[in-house]
């Protein structure tokens, strides 16, 4: 039995260096039992010559190896053991998942039952406001019908608008002279255009007086030094009319004019006759104009 003690001490001599590798000083408090029965609690931190250096709660102590009966390593405390769950949580990381943007589901309109049991009308889906389209352009007024007219001897006949009148022997129909009056349907006069007569027609929009005043304003814009000589109410072709005589300057000539305005049904007619006032034939031409206007008759 005495030979067993040296062998045990020799074993401890070689095992304690390994003991320091596997059991750190901070994790254990060993129980060192001496041969005299006393005990030392501490951590063996070094081997110096024939003694162990033990770290105790009150300092370091050197314990001779031949005084030691047994060394009982302590079991690691619960605090010194790593938490397995925490370690796993540290090692296993949840994969990063990109955030998912959830959109509200589109649900079809559901028929709801009313209290009486009849199905309630489905809620109509919400519609986005639609920009209003610009209004279509107004249609252009229809073009006037082509004028059908003819001259038989000294009689001018307008088949399109249903009237006829006397044509002086030396007068002729002048298509280009229709531009003298808006909505002109016929223009006649002498070949040198020193004497002209124009008949205009348009839809009646207001009273006879208003149309006559509008024609008077138009003439004042055409002629320089426009002045009204006379005005009277009369009749033409059986319809009430307003007659005005005027003077004015245009194209470096002084003009004498006679204008009559009448309303027939839904149409208003304007008859305008003019001649050079600086001619010796002024009175003759004024009489020809007056006779021609007075001869107008409507056939339909």
Q: What is the pLDDT of residues 28-78, one digit of tens each?
A: 578 888 888 888 888 888 877 788 888 887 788 888 888 888 888 775 444
* 228-237 residue pLDDT tens: 999 999 999 9
pLDDT for residue 241 is more than 90: yes
Beta strands (DSSP E) in the chain are 30-34, 39-48, 51-56, 59-64, 68-72, 149-152, 155-158, 163-166, 172-173, 184-189, 195-203, 224-236, 239-250, 253-264, 267-276, 297-298
Higher pLDDT among residues 290 and 21, named by residue: 290
Give the residue extent of every domain in the chain: 4-72, 149-298
Is the confidence at residue 256, as pLDDT, over 90? yes
Report pLDDT for 157: 97
pLDDT of residue 264: 96
Check pLDDT > 80 for residue 158.
Answer: yes
Mean per-residue pLDDT of the chain: 78
As a whole number, mean pLDDT of residues 137-162 equals 87
pLDDT value, residue 170: 92
Say whether pLDDT at 105 is over 60: no
For 149-298, which CATH class? alpha beta
pTM: 0.54
Q: How far apart are CA 129 and CA 234, in angstroms?
A: 62
Q: How many H helices and E strands in the chain?
A: 4, 16
CATH architecture, domain defined by 4-72 = Roll (2.30)
Q: How far is Cα of residue 162 from the mean position of the Cα atoms in its chain?
A: 54
Q: Is the pLDDT of residue 248 over 90?
A: yes
Same fold, 4-72 and 149-298: no
């Amino acid at each position: 039995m005495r030979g067993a003690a040296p062998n045990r001490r020799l074993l401890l001599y070689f095992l304690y260096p390994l003991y320091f590798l596997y059991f750190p000083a901070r994790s254990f408090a060993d129980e060192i039992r001496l041969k005299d029965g006393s005990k030392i609690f501490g951590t063996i931190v070094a081997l110096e010559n024939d003694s162990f250096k033990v770290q105790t709660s009150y300092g370091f102590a050197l314990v001779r190896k031949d005084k030691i009966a047994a060394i009982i390593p302590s079991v690691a405390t619960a605090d010194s053991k790593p938490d397995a769950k925490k370690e796993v949580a540290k090692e296993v990381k949840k994969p990063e998942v990109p955030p998912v943007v959830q959109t509200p589901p589109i649900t079809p309109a559901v028929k709801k039952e009313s209290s009486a049991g009849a199905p309630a009308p489905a809620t109509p889906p919400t519609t986005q406001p639609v920009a209003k389209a610009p209004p279509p352009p107004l249609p252009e007024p229809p073009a006037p019908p082509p004028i059908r007219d003819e001259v038989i001897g000294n009689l001018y006949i307008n088949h399109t608008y249903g009237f006829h009148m006397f044509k002086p022997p030396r007068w002729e129909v002048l298509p280009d002279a229709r531009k003298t009056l808006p909505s002109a349907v016929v223009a006649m006069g002498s070949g040198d255009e020193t004497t002209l007569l124009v008949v205009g027609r348009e839809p009646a929009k207001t009273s006879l007086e208003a149309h006559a005043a509008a024609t008077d304003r138009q003439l004042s814009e055409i002629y320089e030094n426009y002045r009204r000589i006379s005005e009277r109410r009369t009749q033409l072709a059986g319809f009430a009319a307003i007659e005005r005589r005027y003077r004015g300057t245009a194209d470096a000539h002084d003009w004498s004019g006679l204008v009559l305005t009448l309303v027939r049904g839904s149409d208003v007619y304007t008859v305008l006759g003019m001649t050079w006032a600086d001619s010796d034939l002024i009175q003759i031409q004024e009489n020809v104009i007056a006779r021609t206007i007075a001869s107008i008759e409507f056939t339909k």
